[in-house]
Amino acid sequence: MQPMVNLALRAARNAGQDLVRRLDRYDAVQSTDQEKAKFIADCTIGLEKSIIFELKKSLPDHGFEGRETGTQKHDTAQPLWQVCVIDDISNFRVGIPAFAIIINCLNGKRTEHSVILNPMNGDEFSASRGRGALLNNRRIRCGNLASLTDSITAFTQPMGLSENAGQQRTKIMSLMEGGYDVRCIGSGALSLAYVAADRFQAALLSDMDAISLNAGSLVASESGCLLADINGQPQISAPANVAVANPRLLKALLKL
């Protein structure tokens, strides 16, 4: 495992343990909406800062960008670290244990290392460019099914009224009306990681931001998956509607 990935995993584990302890002490039933909003803000902002502080101790010259705290001033010639503490706030808010801590290391515009950690069940997905993808320190590869009929396809709900969102809804509805097996777990990053680990065989994911897309696409591609935007183009830029599957399934997914 790469040293950068080890640093990221250590920081993500520490934040995950802290997040689980906070959840154990938190009483959502007795809390007002204002108290819930403050609790979520304290978790996202406070733990984001903790991860950045921990990474910065070992990498003082690197740059850092938090989903909630923004980008700190840095030397653009140095690698940039992206951090998100809770990738799916909606799941976290209601106690659904499907959200992720994400840490990426970018060199220029290329994601070189990524970590996706679900603190609720201990799943640790990681990848380094050109070195494959891991789940809990074991190599993972995407599946090789050739038919959507035999597959489980993940999706996230498209938002807005744009043409791309409409196309994504049409594809998802085609799967549902055709009787295909579909699942929505909320977190785009976890959904991509699950395709990488062959828990899902394909996914149609909507409105993915840069941090989730960078993490999930590296893990997925390093496991052998192919990714494309809703129109089949391999170049994807956030916010993005993404199709991902093993090489034998992607064409069928895009043709829906």
Residue 246 has what pLDDT? Answer: 92
Residue 84 has what pLDDT? Answer: 96
DSSP per residue, 170-216:
HHHHHHHHTT-EEE--S-HHHHHHHHHTTSSSEEEEEEE-HHHHHHH
Instruction: Give the C-alpha separation, 123 to 102, whole Å.
Output: 12
Please check whether residue 104 is in contact with residue 211, taking contact to mean a CB–CB distance below 8 angstroms: yes
Residue 161 has what pLDDT? Answer: 62
Give the neighbor-by-neighbor strand order of the sheet with 110-118.
Answer: 70-71, 63-66, 80-87, 100-107, 110-118, 123-128, 133-135, 138-140
The domain in which residue 226 lies consists of 148-254
* Strand-pair partners of 73: none
The string of pLDDT tens digits covering residues 167-182 is 778 888 888 888 889 9
Residue 199 has what pLDDT? Answer: 96
Q: Domain boundary residue among 140, 156, 191? A: 140
Q: Are 100 and 205 in the same domain?
A: no
Q: Are 180 and 79 in the same domain?
A: no
Q: What is the pTM of this model?
A: 0.92
Q: Are 75 and 173 in the same domain?
A: no
Q: Are 15 and 82 in the same domain?
A: yes
* Angle, helices 33-58/3-25, rounded to nearest 10 degrees: 160
CATH code, domain carrying 182: 3.40.190.80
Q: Are 112 and 181 in the same domain?
A: no
Q: How many domains does the chain have?
A: 2
Please check whether residue 255 is in contact with residue 249, taking contact to mean a CB–CB distance below 8 angstroms: no
Q: Domain boundary residue among 89, 121, 140? A: 140
CATH code, domain carrying 34: 3.30.540.10
Q: Are 21 and 81 in the same domain?
A: yes
Q: Domain boundary residue among 140, 164, 188? A: 140
Q: Are 75 and 190 in the same domain?
A: no
Residues 39-54 have a mean pLDDT of 94
Q: Are 7 and 125 in the same domain?
A: yes
Q: Are 201 and 237 in the same domain?
A: yes
Q: Are 169 and 133 in the same domain?
A: no
Report percent pLDDT > 70 for the chain.
97
What pLDDT band is residue 1 in, cutting at 50, 70 and 90?
A: low
Please check whether residue 155 is in contact with residue 165, taking contact to mean a CB–CB distance below 8 angstroms: no
The string of pLDDT tens digits covering residues 99-145 is 999 999 999 889 999 999 999 999 999 999 999 999 999 999 999 99
Average pLDDT of every residue of the chain: 90
